[in-house]
Structure formats: C-alpha cells, structure tokens
A and B are shown apart, each in its own frame.
Chain A
Amino acid sequence: MSDPEVTDELAREHGLSSHEIALIGEILGRRPTFPELGIFSVMWSEHCSYKSSKKYLQKLPTKGACVVQGPGENAGVVDVGDGWVAVFKIESHNHPSQVEPHGGASTGVGGILRDIFTMGARPLASLDSLRFGSLDDAHQRYLVRGVVRGIGDYGNCFGCATVGGEVTFHPRYRNNILVNAMNLGIARREQIFLAKAAGPGNPVIYVGSKTGRDGIHGASLLASAEFDEDTDAKRPTVQLGDPFTEKLLLEACLEAMATGAIVGIQDMGAAGLTCSSFEMASRSGTGIEMDLDQVPQRESGMTAYELLLSESQERMLLVAEKGREDEIFAVFEKWDLDAALVGRVTDDGRMRVRWQGRTVVDIPVDPIAANAPAYERPTARPADFESLQKLDLDSLPAETDPSGALLQLLASPNLCSREWVYRQYDQLVGSSTVLRPGGDAAVVRIPETERGLALKTDCNPRWCALDPYLGAQHAVAEAARNVAVTGARPLAVTNCLNFGSPERPEAMWEFAEATRGMGDACRAFGIPITGGNVSFYNETSGEGGIPPTPTIGMVGLLDDVTRAVPAAFRGAGDDVILLGETRAELGGSEYLAVRHGLERGAPPALDLAAEQRLQKLLAAAAEQRLMRSAHDCSDGGAAIALAECAIRSGVGLDVALPASGLRPEVALFAESAARAIVSCAPADRERFLALAREHGVPAARIGATGGVRIRIAPGVDVSLVEAHDLWARTLPEALG
C-alpha cells in the first residue's frame, strides 16, 4: 500500500490549521511525508501540545520545599520524608469513555499507572473522579456500569488498591462524561527515573506489548475535537487494555531499573511511539534514529504511519547504557515480555525513522516538541453570568418539612452512598489502606514507615459553572479540608482541567478564570501544583459544553499514620462540635437543586485565611489525639455532614445548630466553607475548644452522639435506620 499524497486538504483532515500547515512548510522547507504529517498532527494536537492552555498553566504555582519534580515529566514527585518520595498524577480519559465506557475507563487507569511506574515508583493507590449525566437516563446508567466495571477490571487485575474518588451526576455531562483517573506511587528518592534520551550512541529499546492498529489518532482526532454525529464511527480509535500484561510490565520495569542499566524511560501513551520518542529526545537535546521494522508487531502489513501513531497499550520506550542491553533483555525474557532494540540516540537533534529500508521521517525534534504553536484564544464572559448570580432568598418558600428535606437529600444521586461503586474495587491490596473509601480523604500508610498519605479528588462543578474563579478556589479549599480532617497537612496538588471547546470564547474564559482561581488558592495555602492534564473539547455540536470542571487531586502528609482521624462517629456519648461559621449561603447548593430545581446564586464566599486556620487546627488536634472523628461540611451542608457521621457509624445524635437570625433551611443546608463536624470524648472537649480558640477558629458544642435517631434542631428528627436505608438504596436500585 502506498502512502497518500500529502495535500493541504489532507493536512486539514488531520486537524491542522492553515497557519500550522504553513509553519510545517517553514520548518521542513518541503512538504511533509505522510508519516511526518501524522507526527505533526499528533504532536501539535491540543491533547499533546497544550497549545491553548500553556499560557495559563505557566502562571500556576509549581514550586515548594517538598517538590522534587514539578510539571513536565510523566508525573509530579514530592518528598514525604525519610528518603521516600510520592509520585502522583491525575489524567482524563473522557472521550474514549463516552464512546466505549469499559475500554475507555480501563485504559485510563492503565495509562495513569504507567505514568507512575515509568518513574520508578510502585503504584500504591488509585482514585477516580467520575461525572455522568442524569441517573434517570438509561444510557447514563449503562455508562456508569461500564466505567465502574472498566476501572475495577483493570485496577483489580493489575493489583493497585482503589481507595477513593468521587461520582457526581449533572445533565450537562450527558454527552460528555468525565473519567479522571489519579494514581500515587512510592519510591526511594534516589530511585526516580526520568524520561530522557541522553547519551548519543545509547540503545533505544521498546518493551511490553506488541503494536497493533488500535488507538490510532486517539489523541488527535478523539481527544482534540468536540463530538458530533460521526462520533460513534470513532470507536476504533479507543484502545484496548490488558491489565495482566501491565502487571508484568510493572514488575519487569522495576526489576530492569534495579540493574542500573536504564538511562531514561517513558511510557507510550497518547500518540504512542511518536510522542514518547520526541519527548525523550527533546528533554535531552538529542535526536533518535529508529528502525520501525524492529518494532514488535501484532499484525503484518502495518505502515510506518500506523506504527508511529498506534496507541496500543502496555508499552514503554527506554534508553539503556550502551553495552548493557543484555541485562535489560534478560529481565523482560523472565517476565515473558517483548523487548526489542529499535534505535539509537544521536547528537544532531533530529528524528530519523526508517521503514522497509528507506527513510520515511527526517525532521528536527525541537520545533515539533518543545516549540509547538501556542495560542492566545479569545475569551468572553458568558452573557448569563450576572443574572445567574442573583438569588433572592426571600422569594423562596420557607422549608416546612426539614426532616423530609434531609431524607430527600440523603437519597439524591449526588449525596447518597457510593458503596455500589467502591465495593467493586479492590481497596486493600498492598496492605496500606488505613481509611477506606466512603469518608473524606482516603489514608494510606507509606510501606515500611509510620507515615501516611491522605488522598482526595474534588470539584463542585455547579459552583464552577456559576463562578469559575471562585469555584476553582473552592475545589482547592475543599480538597485541602478533606485532607485536613484526617489530620494530614495538605502537601501538593495535581489537577485535571476538564472544559469545553477552547475555540468557544465562553469556554476559554471559564478556563482562564478557573486556572486563575486555582493558582490564587494554591498560592495562599502554599501548596504547589506538580502537574496534571488538560482536557478540552468536552462538548457536543449544538449542545454546548460541560460545566467547567477543574478537578483537584490533593495529597496530604501524616507524620504518624496511627493518628489518622476517621469521618464517622466512633460511639455514643461523645460531644459533637461544629467548627466554622454558617452564613446565609444557599447559592448553588444541593438543597436548592434537589428541593427547588434551582441552580443559581453566587457560590459561598471563601475566606482562604479562615480555611488555613481550620487546616492547622485539625492537624494540631489530630497530633494531640483530641478528636474521635472529623468530617468536612460541604455538599448538603451541616445537616448532611452530621447525618453522614451518624449513618456510617450506626450511632445516632442529638444536636442543635446555631440558628441566630438564619432561616432553618439555611442553618441546616447552607454550604458555607471552612466548616467541619468534630466529635470528641467529653474529657477532651475543653482542651479541644481551647485549641480552636488558639487557632482563631469558631467552635461550638452543638450536642452529643448516641441513640437511634438523627435529631438536628431546627426541625430534623428522623430514624437512623430509615435514613441509612434511603441513603444506601439509591445507586443499587438504579444500577442493579
């Protein structure tokens, strides 16, 4: 089969703009070959080049005392003490999961796992942030089942514990569900490997699965364009995952790294062999020459174009020390995996690719990898921004049935039990899971140490839709609070920025505002962002985009993991304390959405200094073992937080919320920030309250645990069993 002639029209079909086509002509001084065109189209795709987002990402805070490796590598790395580092990242696999939920979600998990172990770390914990359309919709239920099964099938068989995440529903995700997969691994600081192709003359070795025709143009055509009526025809661009091979690849890579013969290593993810080789060479200022006929192939007759662009899973590219190839080959033979010498590092900064005896690619590395085009896209505030901010509380009918409202909220899709989801995940392999899913942050022990890490993903898309700047700040603050209630100190952040089309000025404005908010909040807290992922084009022609969803993946550190504080009550007779202040803030709340079908009003105000005081108080109280439980107040407000503490423990409560001048539904369901519910033994109460005063955090004893009812004044008095039943039933009944 001969390659098609490269015309401007063919280049445009590859997603390249006229400007970019002209630029290619300037760089090469000639028309590209067909394989070269393929390379440009993936390397300059939005997904791989960050061409619309780069300008904003550069403004995010990425430095901090704990940072060992910031953005730009496969994952971020932070120091967690005693010579250990945590390697972590979050990444989206949205479009593939919409098209093929099981395959899309499972390869999303596979991709993030490789990002972690390619750096020399053993994956320790996974989290998944999932967004779907309405649970009432049969197709959405199909997507939920497929995604959850895909995550479980991959993670369970690979052998990494899935310890947390989030699942929410909103009609605007109907045609653009989000699957954001996060993983964290652990390594010794001196064992970290980087993706570099250093040392001219060194061998370039391909390891792992054979290359097939799956996933070609997954990054450029599927991830870098909005959906339209032809989307189903893109199903073949979704890759197929094999977690068993990935498990072998993990063990083989870690073993090969231990030989000391590896110079650099990178996984083949988006844009496969092309992206991995270009990025490795670009980082080292070198070039690579490669012979595609040496690439292990699953089927015969593959063209150079296909071999370069395939996104077949479970593959890695590594550069070894010259003369030590056999040490690498021996390890991969032990694990029954392919390993093939496919090329050499060169010193001339060019990528030269041979196929069937002739040179099919000969292009400079840097103009393509490091100096890809960057755009300053137009931004525009949505026309309805101001009107949506308005909410007249006085026009709302007063809540006449607070008990009924609590039960309705507990059973609503966004607040009900997630056990149906996480019960399908191995939460325990690795013997590290101290706080399992279902609480605030998950807590895992760092193996062989006394330390622990608290992990959480977070974002409230409704708030981000109403005010992306404030909403993104809240995402940071809430994730930090979730980590802090376990007693951990927030350490670092990875982010997954899910937005609509950057070519639509309103979506670009949302992106600009959200990244500004995220940066401001992280700077205020002193928490660096060590990397992440941008996912644009989450929209469908004629329907608009998703709510802006800047998901935060937060990592916190506990010096003594035995001091980790759970969210649920621990027994009867403890004092219940509300931390923070409740204000008349119902804007964008679950209460408004569930009880009144309204999604409007300004999100709650955010006092970053107050948040930080709360974080410090919680860490100090955990250090002194003063808290029996601690739970963040967020979606559904104080009443829902209290009910969750009770339901998860089977211990009732009798409390009265401070209601000075507040309407009952505000006292119960307002989602004011910087609040938490703490229970403590009566003997520790005064010390805890004194500590709160010292830290400048408002604290009030509001009642005690015990009994078989959930009693929350003003107005809530329900049976604990009934509340538990309603809360637990929603997802199993909907999903089977």
Chain B
Amino acid sequence: MSAPRVGVLVFPGSLDDRDMRRSFGLCGADVRMIWHKDQRLPESLDGIGVPGGFSYGDYLRCGAMARFSPVMRSLVEFAESGKPVLGVCNGFQILCESGLLPGVLVRNRELKYVCQDVRVAVEDPGMFRAELTPGRALVMPVKHGEGAYVPDPDRKPRVAFRYVGGSPNGSTDDIAGVTNERGNVLGLMPHPEHATDPLLGSADGAHVLRSFLAACVAARAGR
C-alpha cells in the first residue's frame, strides 16, 4: 500500500509547518504543503494537518483571520467528508474558529506565553486509536500564549487528551485536546511534531502522528 498522502496547510505566519512536514515524513507520510491562497486541494489527499504558529500575526483573536483564507472552504468540505484532520496549537485554534471543533482557546491563566514539556493522558482519541490507547501517558512540549480551552456549553467535546498534574494554561478540566463528534477532526495544544526524536527531548509525539496516518489509511480504504 502506498504511503498516506498528507497535506500541511501554510498560512502567512505559520511557523511549525516545516516541523510538521518533517515529522510526518519521519513517520512515513508523503507530505504536500498547501498554500492558503489555493482554492483547490491536491488530488487524492488522505489527511490534512493544520500547523502551529501565529497565522496572520494573531493580532485579532488567534486563528480568527485564518478561517477566512481561500483554502478553508476546501478544508471544511474535506473534514465533513469524514477524512482525518489534525490541528496543533494555532492549528487547533483555527479549527475551533472555523467551527470544525467545538469550544474556544483563550489567554493562558498567567497571561504569559509558556514553553515547557507537559504530560498528557489519552482519553477518547476518536478515529486515531492505533497507538493511542486510553490511559496512555505521553510527554510533549507546549508553547503558546492562548491555550486555555473553554468548552462550548451547547456542543460537548470528545476529550482526546488531558494534562496530567495540572494544566500549564488554566484549561477547563485540564483539557489538552479534543475531537469533533464524529471523531475525525483532532485538535491539541501540545506539539506531537516537536516530540518525534529522543535527541530533542521526547519521541512520544510519534504515537499521535502514526495514529493519524493509520486513520488516513483506514479512511482511504473506506473503513
């Protein structure tokens, strides 16, 4: 079977796009970068990653501008067709702003940017189950100024990850990542793409990325 083909969106101000490309590549994906002005997605994509950064400088609310990019309409259609979508950090914020994920991310409790390793526990990872067994603990870094998750009272999230030992940002119920109801769109604040190499601190993020790629293959097979 050919390698899963993953697109990584690039907005003006995306910063972890190259890291996401590299890490998906290390995990065996065939990666295409997708410019935000593109109206159409490349043919036969199996999954899409929305990377971290400061899209449009995040001078308005994080992710609030990116949702109006031309590529977003295609992304929403892609997600609604049931194919896998992963948003990390600013990507998570963009998925919330565009309505693909419920809830919103607000300023950290201490009103400061925070960069540190955190431990999260897997809870309900939707369709990304291959290596994400409920209860499994993963160490990955966070780095953000607006990462406190606030759920939408009318649209309960499926909690994919929770911080262990308290959140670094004041997230409601220590929520670190969620999926949509269908389980094919996953957003999280910790950076799996920065944790795929023990030399750089941790390789636990590879479990998240490989589970995403496994879901890509499964979705392609129509399962």
Contact = CB atoms under 8 A, between A and B. Distances in A.
Q: Do A and B bind each other?
A: yes
Contacts of A335: 12
B152 interface: no
Interface residues of A, number: 32
A562 B200 CA distance: 10
Interface string B18-58: 11001100000000000000000000000000000110111
A562 B12 contact: no
B81 interface: no
A244 B199 contact: no
A427 interface: yes
A434 B199 CA distance: 6
Interface in B113-135: 113-116
A157 B58 CA distance: 9
A459 interface: no
Interface string B130-154: 0000000000010101000000000
A428 interface: yes
A244 B59 contact: yes
Interface in A422-451: 422-434, 436, 445
Given A335-B12, A336-B12, A426-B115, A431 B200 contact: yes
Contacts of B64: none
B99 interface: no
A244 B19 contact: no
Contact of A156 (B54, B141, B191, B197): B54
A335 to B, nearest CB: 7
B174 interface: no
Nearest to A337: B12
A426 B200 contact: no
Contact of B113 (A156, A433, A436): A156
What 4 A-B pairs come out closest when comparing CB atoms? A244-B57, A159-B15, A157-B54, A431-B19
Contacts of A153: 113
Of listed A149, A428, A432, residue having the most chain B CB within 10 A: A428
Contacts of B201: 436
Interface residues of B, number: 29
Contact of B112 (A159, A424, A428, A436): A424
A131 interface: no
A426 B141 CA distance: 10
A428 B191 contact: yes
A243 interface: yes
B67 interface: no
Given A157-B57, A159-B53, A445-B199, A247 B113 contact: no
A240 B15 CA distance: 22
A316 to B, nearest CB: 17
Given A426-B115, A431-B23, A243 B57 contact: yes
A425 B113 CA distance: 7
Contacts of A157: 13, 54, 57-58
Contacts of B53: 159
A726 interface: no
Contacts of B143: 156, 426-429
A429 B113 CA distance: 14
Interface string A645-665: 000000000000000000000
Contacts of A247: 12-13, 15, 54
A680 interface: no
B138 to A, nearest CB: 16
A106 to B, nearest CB: 13
B16 interface: yes
Given A157-B57, A243-B57, A561 B199 contact: yes
Interface of A: 149, 152-153, 156-159, 242-245, 247-248, 335-336, 422-434, 436, 445, 561-562
B22 A152 contact: no
Contacts of A429: 15-16, 19, 143, 194
Contacts of B59: 244
A244 B113 CA distance: 17
A275 B200 CA distance: 41
Nearest to B196: A431
A432 B201 CA distance: 11
Contacts of B193: 431
A620 B105 CA distance: 49
Contacts of A436: 201
A153 B194 CA distance: 20
Contacts of B13: 157, 244, 247-248
Contacts of B145: 156
Of listed A149, A248, A423, A431, residue having the most chain B CB within 10 A: A431
A568 B140 CA distance: 20
B114 A431 contact: no
B12 A248 contact: yes
Given A247-B13, A423-B114, A430 B58 contact: no
A476 to B, nearest CB: 29
A336 B35 CA distance: 13
A152 B54 CA distance: 13
A201 B18 CA distance: 38
15 contacts: A153-B113, A156-B145, A159-B53, A242-B57, A243-B54, A244-B12, A244-B54, A244-B59, A247-B15, A424-B112, A424-B115, A426-B115, A428-B115, A431-B19, A431-B23
B19 A152 contact: no
Nearest to A452: B199
B104 to A, nearest CB: 20
Given A159-B15, A431-B200, A244 B56 contact: yes
Contacts of A248: 12-13
Contacts of A561: 199
A502 to B, nearest CB: 38
Nearest to A157: B54
B114 to A, nearest CB: 6
B194 A152 contact: no
A248 B54 CA distance: 11
Contacts of B18: 430-431
A245 B13 CA distance: 8
A430 B19 contact: yes
A159 B23 CA distance: 17
Contacts of B22: 431
B18 to A, nearest CB: 8
Given A247-B15, A428-B191, 4 more contacts: A428-B115, A428-B141, A428-B143, A445-B199
Contacts of A149: 112
B194 A424 contact: no
B34 to A, nearest CB: 14
A318 B12 CA distance: 22
A423 B12 contact: no
Interface in B168-223: 191, 193-194, 197, 199-201
B200 A433 contact: yes
Nearest to A436: B201
A393 B108 CA distance: 51
